[in-house]
Amino acid sequence: MNDSLAQGGFSHESADEMKDNRFARSRPGERRIVTIMFCDVTGSTAMAENLDPEDWAEIMDEAFDYLTAPIERFEGKVARLMGDAILAFFGAPVSHEDDPQRAILAGLDIVKNLQPFRTRIERDYGLDFNVRVGINTGEVVVGEIGSEQRSTWPPVWNRLRNPALSRYLKMLIVLWRHCST
């Protein structure tokens, strides 16, 4: 074993070798316009703290069915399930001319189709189970990022701030509030 590794460090040779390997594996991404949806459960930490962990896992497992079905129906890609949230893309890996509209329709369907589930969770557990949906569209670079040990597919986005889209998002939030009451 190399002495510097045994002492918790790296040799200069191994650091240079890792850098060379990373550059050899690097793949440039593809520039695209992608609509990104983020949806999470409001107040989930407080709700989870008041339930048995198995009950909370059951609730979230069923909730993910309601959250992901509209995304798949409108041909979006669920990129990640994260505890109480989902991240989805419309426009990567498959793109459509109307991806922003598809994302908005999926978001509205999530809110609408969740109503019977919300009613049941309130009846059975006394919880106000609700979600919020955020959607934005912008230019991204799509491709694998990371190393062999740790990589991720989701796009890297750098320009998702657009005043017209922000106004559109505000309109969606107003619709969401109207549908969720």
Which DSSP state fits 44? H
pLDDT confidence of residue 107: 96
Neighbours of 39 (CB within 10 A): 23
pLDDT confidence of residue 32: 84
pLDDT confidence of residue 41: 94
In this prediction, the residues of the chain whose per-residue pLDDT falls under 70 are: 1-28, 143-181
Q: Which CATH number fits domain 37-179: 3.30.450.20, 3.30.1950.10, 3.30.70.1230, 3.20.20.70?
A: 3.30.70.1230
Which residue stretches of 87-162 are H helix?
99-113, 115-125
**Domain spans of the chain?**
37-179
Dihedral over alpha carbons 163, 167, 168, 174 (to 10 degrees): 160
pLDDT confidence of residue 103: 96
Taking only the tens place, the pLDDT of each residue in 106-130 is: 999 999 999 999 999 999 999 999 9
Residue 100 main-chain phi, psi, to 5 deg: -60, -40
pLDDT confidence of residue 147: 55
Q: Are 138 and 157 in contact (CB under 8 A)?
A: yes
